[in-house]
């Protein structure tokens, strides 16, 4: 072990000692950003190698979350906007995601795919659906895998689902208007039944949500990390937890 690695290990332990179990977020959302820029910074022409390096980091993150006591993790792997990328980049990226999902299934995680699966290639959608069916009974950390996900589309889908549900019961629009509140919409989101994220982490230095969990993040805390996702370290994760623990969540009060 190098001197630098030893220093980081000591720093990690120091951060861990300062965190108590009641300060750990139940639900952490992660925007895994910067894979392409990492590849270019490394002098790699094939950006899919950056996507693969980023995929390799996911399992590490999940172990860190489980060890810390996090109960839910939502990973944004592919947005609806990403689907417009050049075919030469999109197809290898989808293959990386499919392989990642299968690896997570094999590793024993409980996976919950979320997003507009109808926008994805049939094979990718089948891999995600199979992962959900295969792992839904597993205990422990729940991993939401957001693929083909867009926050505005999620809200539109939720409203559409809500209208269809009420129409199937013979209710009119006027009836729905009389009773409609935020909880009715929340019950039709991709994350229905799950708590909203307490902490949202974004890597690569970008300081925006880009449509990630727009509805659910109304009261979330945010942590923006300069490192590209493939370079994200356990010490960066612990710093995010430390930052979260130091904040006073008032929920508007």
99 is catalytic: no
33 is catalytic: yes
Give all strands of the β-sheet with 199-202 in edge-to-edge order: 110-114, 142-149, 72-79, 27-31, 199-202, 221-224
Q: Which of 35, 82, 112, 175 is catalytic?
A: 82
Q: Which of 22, 33, 157, 175 is catalytic?
A: 33
**Residues 225, 236: contact at Cβ < 8 Å?**
yes
Positions annotated as catalytic residues are 33, 82
């Amino acid at each position: 072990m190098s001197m630098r690695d030893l220093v980081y290990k000591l720093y990690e332990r120091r951060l861990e000692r300062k965190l108590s179990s009641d300060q750990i977020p139940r639900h952490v959302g992660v925007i895994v950003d910067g894979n392409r820029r990492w590849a270019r910074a490394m002098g790699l022409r094939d950006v899919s190698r950056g996507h693969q390096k980023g995929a390799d980091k996911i399992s590490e993150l999940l172990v860190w979350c489980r060890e810390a006591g996090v109960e839910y993790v939502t990973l944004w792997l592919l947005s609806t906007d990403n689907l417009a990328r050049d075919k030469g980049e999109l197809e290898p990226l989808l293959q990386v995601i499919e392989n990642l999902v299968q690896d997570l299934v094999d590793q024993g995680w409980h996976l919950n795919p979320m997003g507009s699966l109808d926008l994805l290639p049939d094979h990718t959608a089948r891999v995600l659906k199979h992962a959900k069916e295969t792992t839904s009974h597993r205990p422990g950390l729940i991993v939401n895998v957001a693929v083909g996900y867009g926050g505005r589309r999620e809200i539109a889908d939720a409203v559409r689902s809500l209208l269809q549900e009420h129409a199937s019961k013979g209710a009119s629009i006027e009836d729905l208007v009389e009773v409609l509140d935020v909880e009715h919409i929340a019950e039709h989101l991709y994350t229905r039944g799950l708590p909203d994220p307490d902490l949202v982490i974004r890597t690569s230095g970008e300081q925006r949500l880009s449509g990630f969990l727009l509805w659910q993040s109304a009261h979330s805390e945010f942590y923006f990390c300069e490192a590209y996702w493939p370079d994200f370290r356990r010490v960066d994760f612990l710093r995010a937890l430390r930052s979260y623990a130091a904040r006073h969540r008032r929920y508007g009060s």
